[in-house]
Structure 1
Amino acid sequence: MQRTLILALLIIGLGLNLSAQELSTTPTISTEAVEGGPVMEVEAMEVDFGTIEQDSDPIRVFRITNTGDAPLLITNARGSCGCTTPQREDWNTPIGIGETRELRVRYDTHRVGPFRKRVTLTHNASEDPTVLTIKGKVNAKAAAPEAVPSSEQGLFNGGEK
């Protein structure tokens, strides 16, 4: 009886946990491609952050231009993980014909080592999303020097200087 109760509680808990994992969505806006409509051109589909220091706050920019003959609306910009954050300040307004807008992307540098992440853009220029890539390498932050090196004898580590 007790095992059945524990099993039932585990199943209910798992169900609640899975239902809490839904992705937040933005309001639904048509992203159907329009013949002769907006055309999204990205200056570089991949941006290299280069070598950056751990716990720094690096931001890089993707330049997006509307070369079509109708306004371009980016309805969603999502990083492939929590460490990749596209910063959308003015994306609620369409990109006009011939206009260029910058998409700033921040990478969280707490984890050391090479990285390659994606930013997926949903827009009205195509039914297929556009995938941008960031890459780079995070080097460990240099350790702070000791106040009194342990290899030297001094007043505070057993010496008589």
Structure 2
Amino acid sequence: MKRIIFGLGALCLVAFTSCKDNAAQKIDEANVAVAAERDAVASKFPVLVFDKTEHDFGEIEAKTAVETTFNYTNKGDAPLVITDIKSSCGCTVPQDWSREPLLPGDSGKFSVKFNGSGQNKVTKTITVTANTEKGSELVKITAFVKPDPNKPVPAK
């Protein structure tokens, strides 16, 4: 029994000492340089800056379609990629944005159509999903929707 324990101990000692020296020799300096460059670039993000973050259509008639354009610029250090733009409801439709990467310093735009639904003061939020540090940015549209003059008045 002592021989088996002694033999296993010696085998483990040889196995652990032989692996220790080979690990340092396996590090490739080219891989270390590539990893350092990748990590430096990973901390750089695009910064999405809008010319306006809110647009007020003012007073509009009910069911009247209106449209505005939001302009934006990439003020960051990496290409900006907008993956999606969604509104808080179906009455507001964002469209016409580029899915191509936007280089630092370049500008783009998207339009938003609002169909004039709702009553009185209406606010809609548009969420822009992009590869920014936050992951998404918000813009808003507002309008005061006047009642439809052609709508019949309910009888009391």
TM-score bracket for the superposition, by shorter chain length:
0.5 to 0.7
Mapped partners of 2:112, 2:60: distance in 1: 15
Pick one of 55, 70, 83 that aligns with 1:62.
70
TM-score (norm 2): 0.63
Contact kept in structure 2, 1:34 and 1:125, CA below 8 Å:
no
- Find the counterpart in structure 2 of residue 122 from structure 1: 129
* Structure 1 residue 112: Cα displacement: 3.2
Percent same amino acid among aligned pairs?
31
Contact kept in structure 1, 2:72 and 2:109, CA below 8 Å:
yes
> Where does 1:45-84 land on structure 2 (aligned, <5 Å)?
45-84=53-92
* Structure 1 residue 72: Cα displacement: 0.4
- Find the counterpart in structure 1 of residue 30 from structure 2: none
User: Which amino acid is the alignment partner of residue 84 of structure 2?
Assistant: N
More helix by share: 2
Mapped partners of 1:105, 1:127: distance in 2: 22
Computed over aligned residues only, the root mean square deviation of the Cα atoms, in angstroms, reads: 2.1
Moved over 4 A (4+): none
- Find the counterpart in structure 1 of residue 139 from structure 2: 132
Query: What whole-Å deviation, never above 9, does each CA across 1:8-65 have from its counterpart, x for those lacking one?
Result: xxxxxxxxxxxxxxxxxxxxxxxxx942231111111111111112222200111110
Q: Structure 1 unaligned runs (5+)?
A: 1-32, 144-161
TM-score (norm 1): 0.61
Distance 1:93 1:115, change over 3 A: same
Mapped partners of 2:114, 2:91: distance in 1: 6
Mapped partners of 1:34, 1:44: distance in 2: 29
Mapped partners of 1:132, 1:62: distance in 2: 8
> Where does 1:27-106 land on structure 2 (aligned, <5 Å)?
34-87=42-95, 89-106=96-113
**Matched positions, count:** 111
Q: Structure 2 unaligned runs (5+)?
A: 1-40, 151-156
Distance 1:83 1:124, change over 3 A: same
